[in-house]
Structure 1
Amino acid sequence: MRTYRRLGDVPRKRHMRFEVGGKPIFEELFGREGFSGPSSLLYHRNMPESAHDISEGPAEMMAPEREQVHEHAHLQGFNLQPDGDVVSGRKWLLVNDDIHIGLAFPVRQQEVLCVNGSADEILFVHRGAGVLHTQFGTLAFGTHDYVVIPRGTIYRVEFESLDDVRILALEVAGLVDSPDRYRARNGQLTEIAPYSERDFRGPDELEEGGDGPVEVWLKRAGRVSRYRLDHHPFDLVGWDGTIYPVAFNIHDFEPRAGRFHVPPPIHQTFQAHNVVICSFVPRKLDWDPDAVMLPYHHSNLDSDEVLYYVDGDYAARRGVKQSSFTHHVGGVPHGPQPGALEASYERPRETNELAVMVDTFRPLHRTEVARQLVDREYPFSWHTGGMRGTESIA
C-alpha cells in the first residue's frame, strides 16, 4: 500500500553521522515487527525521548456488553450526539481484541497531540475536510477519504469547519495494509488490484512544530499517559521509508462486477490480522438476464459482518440511513429482507450505494453506547408471519 517515500533531508547512508548547521541530527527507527518488518527512518533535530514529566491521563470509557443472546442488529448511529474532538469524542460501538469500531461527531478542534501505541487507526471521513498534522508532515484529506494512521504516529487533526463533521473511526490491532493477493512478489500492486499506488497520498510537506515543551497523550492498552516532552516532536529535517500516514478516497476504488453476483471479497480494500475492510461503491450490477441483483442469503460461519452506510440506496436493506450500522453475527444466516427480491426484478442494473464493510474473525461485542442505538425490531425484519419486523423499519 505504501511505496518507498522520502521527504526532506536524509544522509547518504543509514545510521551514519549526520549534521545540519553544525548540530548533530538524531536518527529514529520507526519500525514494525521488531527490526524485521517495514519501517521508516526519521531524522530529528532533538532527542525524541526527552521528556520532563509523565503522568496518568484519562481512561478510555468503554464498557462492552457481554451479550447473553447473539442477534443481528441495526445500530442507529445517526442518533449519536456530537461531542468532544476527533479523539475524545469517539463513541465505540462494536469491539473485540482486534478492532474497535465507532463514530466521532466532533464539536471542537483537537488541541493536544495524540499517539496510539496499540493500534493503527483508520478515520473514514464521512463528512468533513481538513489536514492531518504529524511528525511525517502534513496530509490534506476530504470527504470520503480513508485516512490511515500507523501506530506510533504523533498527530493532530485540524478540520476546515466543524459544521456536520462525521467520522467512522477504526482502531485496528494489526498492521493495516493492502491485501496480499493484490501485490506482486516485490510488493508492487498488480494489474488485478482495484487501485494503484497513484491513488494513495502521503504527507507532502514537513512542518515546524515550534520551540519549547509540548504535551503528547499516549494511548496504550486502553489507558492514556501524558508525556510532557522537552521539544516538539515535529522537529524532523527529513525521513524516508514505507511506514507513514496515507489518504485514499473511496471513489478511487475500482469496483468489479460479474455476469452473476460477486461475493464481498471482491470489494476488499484493506487487510489486518483477523480483520477485512471492504468498500462498496457505485457500480454496474450482474448483467445476465436471469441474474439476481441482490446478495444471496449467507451464513458467515467464521466471522461477524458490519456494514456502515455512507450514501446511496440500499436495495437489500430497509430502514437504514446515513450513519447506520448493521451487525450480522457469525453462524446465523442473513440476506435481503422480504420483498427485496421481487422489487429487484425491475431495477436498473447498477447501484449508487456507498458503504464501508468490516468483517472480523472473532466475535464483536456491542458497547453500552451501542445498546442505546439498537433498533429492537431489526432481528425480526425477515419474519413473514406478522408485522413485528416491519413496523419500525419499513
Structure 2
Amino acid sequence: MKKWIYRPHIEGNASRQAHADLPEGTVERELGKEGFFGPATHMYHPRPPTGWKSWEGPLRPRAFDCVRIKPHGHSPWDAALLLHNAALRMRFWTCRESMDHLARNADGDELLFVHNGSGELYCDYGHLAIEAGDYIVLPRSTMWRIDCAAPMQMLLIEATNSSYTLPDKGLVGEHAIFDPAMLDLPRIDDAFKAQQQGAAAARDWAVRIKRRNEVSTVVYPYNPLDAIGWHGSLHPVRINVRDIRPLMSHRFHLPPSAHTTFVAGRFVVCTFTPRPFETDPGAIKVPFFHNNDDFDEVIFYHAGDFFSRDNIHPGMITLHPCGFTHGPHPKALGRMLQQTKPGTDEYAVMIDARDALDIDEAATAAEFHDYHRSWQQK
C-alpha cells in the first residue's frame, strides 16, 4: 500500500464538498492521482480551465472518426490499428462477410465491442449470438470466428500480455453495476453442433494465430471447433450495455471510475449508460473539469446524445492524454447546475490507460484536427 503525503486542507474561497455547492460564479477543477482512486485537490476558478487561446506541440486533445476508416479484409488481423502501447492495442474492424478461417490471439485477452450489426460467434467453447452493444471477452488463445449476415463494426481491445478481470465493487457488493449471473457463456447447442457436420466441416480450416503482432497460419484437415463438452472456470463471457445498471448519486456527480466494467493489467474499461441526472440543486450535473494526470483517457461513442460533448456522433473516438485539463464543452457547461431533461441518453466505452498511447496511421487519417478548438466559446 502507498503511503501518500496526505493532509486535507481548505484554502481561500472553496467548497467543503467536492462536485457540489461551488462558490458562486466558479467552476471546479480536480487534480487527482491514480485515476480518481488516489488523493485529489479541487480548485475553484472564475473561468473554465479549458479557455485556451492557441495550442502548439504534439500534446493536445484528439478526436477520430471511425466512420471514415475504410474496411480491410475480413479477418480481425486486418483491422485498423488506432491506438496502442505495451499493454493495450485498440483496433476498429468492419467485418463485411463471414470469416472463412479461425482467429487466435496469443498476445493477450481480446475484448470485442459490437458497435453495429449482429452475427454468430463460434469458438472453442461453443456458440454465442452477438449483436450491437455486446461486450465479448475472449481469453488469450481462444480460437474463434464470426458468421455475419450483414457487415458488422467492432471495437477490438487487446489486453497485451494480460487478462481481463472484474472490478472490485467495494461497499456496493458483487451484484452492483451488473450481477455476474448476467454474463452469458458460449453453449454447445444445435448451431454449434451443426457447424461440426457437413461439407463445410470436412474442408481444410486455417487458424491465423497472432503472436508478437505477427500472424502465423496453421491448417487443419477438419474443423477444429469440434468439442463435445467442457467444464471449468476459464471461458468467454458476453454482456450487453443494456444490462449494465450504473451507480448513481442524486447529490453527487460520480467519477468515471464508478462505471468500471473490466480491469486489465495497465488499463480499465468503463461503460457510460443512460442514467438520471443529479437532482440536488447544488450538485454539478456535468463531468467536472479534471487533470487525470496518471492516465490517457479514450472514449468511443457508441449511441445516443453525448451530453458533455459538441459535434460528436456515434463511431467517433476522443483521446485526452494526460498533461492538460479537460472537461465539458461550453454548451454543456451552461447546463452545469440545471439540465433540460431528466437524464442522460448515451452509450459509450471509456478506456483509461496507465501508459501513454501512440496514435497509428489509421487514426491520424480519420482525425478531426480542430478538436482542440472545440472548447473555445463561439
TM-score, normalised on structure 1?
0.75
Deviations 1:315-342 (A, max 9, x none): 2111111101010001211001223221
Task: Please point out which of 96, 114, 118 is paired with 1:107.
Answer: 96
Which of these residues, 183, 196, 205, is aligned with residue 214 of structure 1? 205
Residue segments in structure 2 that go unaligned for 5+ positions in a row: 1-56
Q: 1:321 aligns with which of 313, 328, 332?
A: 313
The answer to whether the aligner puts 1:354 opposite 2:343 as a matched pair is no
* Separation of aligned partners in 2, 1:375 and 1:150: 34
In the alignment, which residue of structure 1 is the partner of 2:363? 370
The answer to whether residue 122 in structure 2 is matched with residue 170 in structure 1 is: no
Q: Does structure 2 conserve the Cα–Cα contact (< 8 Å) formed by 1:139 and 1:246?
A: no
Letter in 1 for 2:156: A
Aligned mates of 2:357, 2:334 — CA distance in 1: 33
| Structure number having the greater helix percentage | 2
2:120 maps to which residue?
131
The answer as to whether partners of 1:84 and 1:108 remain within 8 angstroms in 2 is no
- Which position in structure 2 is the counterpart of 1:203? 186
Preserved CA contact (<8 Å) 2:97 2:149: no
Partner Cα separation in structure 2 for residue 83 and residue 229 of structure 1: 25
Residue 78 (1) aligns with residue 67 (2)? yes
> In structure 2, what is the Cα distance between the partners aligned to 1:221 and 1:268?
28
Q: How far apart, CA to CA, are the structure 2 residues paired with 1:285 and 1:330?
A: 27
Is contact 1:86-1:157 (8 Å) kept?
Answer: no
Q: Shift in Å at residue 303 of structure 1?
A: 0.3
- Alignment counterpart, residue 180 of structure 1, candidates 162, 168, 187: 168
- Paired residue secondary structure (2:362): helix
Distance 1:111 1:88 in 2: 13
Find out whether 1:276 has 2:268 as its counterpart: yes
Cα deviations by residue, 1:72-131 (Å, 9 ceiling, x for unpaired): 101112211233215144111111111111211222221111111112111111111111
Residues 125 and 86 (structure 1 numbering): CA distance in 2 closer, same or farther, change over 3 Å? Answer: farther
| Residue 143 of structure 1 pairs with residue 138 of structure 2 | no
State the match for 1:69 in structure 2.
58
- Distance between the aligned counterparts of 1:367 and 1:230, measured in 2? 37
Are the aligned partners of 1:312 and 1:354 in contact in 2 as well (CA < 8 Å)?
yes
- Work out whether 1:301 is the aligned partner of 2:293: yes
SS at 2:229 equivalent = strand
What does residue 94 of structure 1 align with? Answer: 83
| Structure 1: distance between partners of 2:329 and 2:138 | 37
Residue type of the alignment partner of 2:243: D
- What are the ranges of 5 or more consecutive residues in structure 1 without an aligned counterpart? 1-67, 388-394
Task: Report the CA distance shift for 1:118/1:112 in structure 2 as closer, same or farther (over 3 A).
Answer: same
Residue identity matched to 1:296 = F
Q: 1:131 to 1:375 in 2, by over 3 A?
A: same
Greater CA deviation, 258-267 or 86-95? Answer: 86-95
The whole-number CA distance in structure 2 between the counterparts of 1:371 and 1:87 is 20
1:17 alignment counterpart: none
Contact 2:96 2:150 in 1 (8 A): no
Identical-residue share of aligned pairs (%)? 31
In structure 1, C-alpha distance between the alignment counterparts of 2:261 and 2:99, rounded to whole Å: 28
The equivalent of 1:53 in structure 2 is: none
Alignment partner, residue 372 of structure 2: 379
CA separation of 1:336 and 1:327: change in aligned 2, threshold 3 A = same
Partner of 1:40: none
Q: CA distance change for structure 1 residues 339 and 142 in 2, over 3 Å: closer, same or farther? A: closer
Aligned partners of 2:134 and 2:233: how far apart in 1? 20
User: Which SS does the other structure have where 2:141 is aligned?
Assistant: coil
Residues 1:341 and 2:333 aligned together: yes
Is 1:266 aligned to residue 255 of structure 2?
no
CA contact (8 A) 1:96 1:365 kept: yes
Contact 2:286/2:335, CA 8 A, preserved across alignment: no
Contact 2:287–2:328 (CA under 8 A) maintained in structure 1: yes
TM-score normalised per structure 2:
0.78
Counterpart CA distance in 1 for 2:335 and 2:252 is 18
How far is 1:216 from its partner?
1.1
